[in-house]
Amino acid sequence: DIQMTQSPSSLSASVGDRVTITCRASQSISSYLNWYQQKPGKAPKLLIYTTSTLQSGVPSRFSGSGSGTDFTLTISRLQPEDFATYYCQQSYSPLYSFGQGTRLEIK
Amino acid sequence: QVQLQESGPGLVKPSQTLSLTCTVSGGSISSGSSYWSWIRQPAGKGLEWIGRIYASGSTNYNPSLQSRVTISVDTSKNQFSLQLTSVTAADTAVYYCARDGAYCGGGLCFFDYWGQGTLVTVSS
């Protein structure tokens, strides 16, 4: 099984800040890494797929990078609506797995 | 616009079987190369992938749940279903169904459409 580890588990930031969330896989997953945003009481929303491709409608302040085992999600200028929990997910193996999540809170 | 809707009992007794159905609208469950997944989330915790099915009936399951999980598909009704046997309180969670992209293959898979989720509580 491929284990996904996110860091940090939680993060406090202010509107306008640049933030980076890291996701590490227990083995190489090439570029098959996806990112989701989840707000309380809602289903997750796809932000980025295959490391760096923005899903339609996702603002360009979101970006992703990485390959192999180490990946990052960056939000360039935080907006109030970005405060949420973020999850990475690998699709390299057909036995999918998620990171434990990173909760992004307002400072 | 593809839409997914989970349905099923909100309360299941311990040791019994949890059964949920996901109804797909706005597109055929057999179209493209989509897989269809079940994902769950205990209150205040992270996402756990349960398993997925292709329209042909081919499945993959989370190894930690494999002995208790069955996912099936009914293409005539545009539905797929989850059965989880011998449930305990640890299976209490919001259960989501989701589509693995329009053309899932070779790792290029991602959950682009989700149901709203349904809370299943395991309690006597």
Cis, bond preceding A8 (omega within 30 deg of 0):
yes
In angstroms, rounded to a whole number, what is the distance separating the alpha carbons of residues A70 and A24? 5
E strand spans, chain B: 3-7, 11-12, 18-25, 35-41, 48-54, 59-61, 69-74, 79-84, 93-99, 113-114, 118-122
Mean pLDDT of B25-40: 92
In angstroms, rounded to a whole number, what is the distance separating the alpha carbons of residues B65 and A22? 27
Q: Which candidate from A29, A43, A87 shows the least CB-CB separation from B46?
A: A87
Q: State what percent of residues in chain A have pLDDT above 70.
A: 100
Q: Is residue B124 over pLDDT 90?
A: yes
Q: Which candidate from A29, A43, A97 shows the least CB-CB separation from B96?
A: A43
Query: What pLDDT does B33 receive?
Result: 85
Decide if A94 and B60 are in contact by the 8 Å CB cutoff: yes
Supply A87's token pair: 């999850």
Q: Is A63 helix (H, G, I), strand (E, B) or coil?
A: strand
pLDDT tier, A54 (very low <50, low <70, confident <90, very high otherwise)? very high
Comparing B97 with B103, the larger pLDDT belongs to B97
Q: Is residue A79 over pLDDT 90?
A: yes
Mean pLDDT of B52-80: 96
User: Chain B interface residues facing chain A, Cβ-Cβ under 8 Å?
Assistant: 37, 46-49, 52, 60-63, 96, 98, 100-101, 107-112, 114-117
Q: Is residue B62 over pLDDT 90?
A: yes
Q: State what percent of residues in chain B have pLDDT above 90.
A: 90
pLDDT tier, B102 (very low <50, low <70, confident <90, very high otherwise)? confident
Query: What pLDDT does A59 receive?
Result: 97
- Name the pairing type of β-strands B93-99 and B48-54: unpaired
Mean pLDDT of B97-104: 91
pLDDT tier, A94 (very low <50, low <70, confident <90, very high otherwise)? very high
